């Protein structure tokens, strides 16, 4: 069975998009394969990895990738997690059947020590709704 391909995009690919990639692969890895990239990739943030570990989600193989790494590739869905990535995606050389925009606050800009865990919870809630709707359509 061909897996449904999803690409998550954000600015640095160090927090939100990595969380979404790891979480979706964790909860739906049998049917969906997730990737992530950044407009200006940094490295995975330590608190991102910590938040994922806290929920028992593997971070093995997680790396910050540039958007250009996926030029020419096809994705069933691209989910954009910030405005900067949404602007840059207009010039992206990949293909997507569906583009979704979730403008999530960047936890790197917060002074709140629990910002990463809050962001991960918000992503998990949105993903659960999105996956339920998507899998209903896919059968």
Whether the Cβ atoms of residue 75 and residue 99 lie closer than 8 Å to each other? no
Domain ranges of the chain: 4-138
User: Can you give the pTM of this predicted structure?
Assistant: 0.93
Distance CA 47, CA 130 (A): 25
Distance CA 68, CA 26 (A): 25
Mean pLDDT in order along the chain per 10 residues (139 residues): 92 95 95 94 95 95 93 93 79 83 93 94 96 81
Across the chain, mean pLDDT equals 91
Domain 4-138 has CATH 3.40.640.10: no
90, containing H or E segment: none
Distance CA 120, CA 44 (A): 14
Whether the Cβ atoms of residue 12 and residue 42 lie closer than 8 Å to each other? yes
């Amino acid at each position: 069975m061909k897996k449904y391909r999803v690409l998550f995009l954000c600015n640095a690919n160090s927090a939100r998009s990595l969380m979404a990639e790891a979480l979706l692969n964790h909860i739906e890895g049998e049917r969906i394969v997730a990737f992530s990239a950044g407009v200006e990739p940094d490295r995975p943030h330590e608190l991102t990895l910590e938040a994922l570990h806290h929920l028992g989600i593997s971070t093995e193989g997680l790396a910050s990738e540039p958007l250009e790494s996926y030029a020419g590739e096809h994705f069933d869905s691209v989910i954009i997690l910030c405005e900067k990535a949404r602007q840059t995606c207009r010039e992206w050389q990949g293909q997507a059947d569906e583009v979704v925009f979730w403008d999530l606050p960047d936890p790197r800009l917060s002074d709140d020590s629990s910002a990463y865990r809050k962001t991960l919870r918000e992503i998990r809630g949105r993903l659960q709704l999105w996956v339920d709707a998507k899998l209903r359509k896919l059968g």
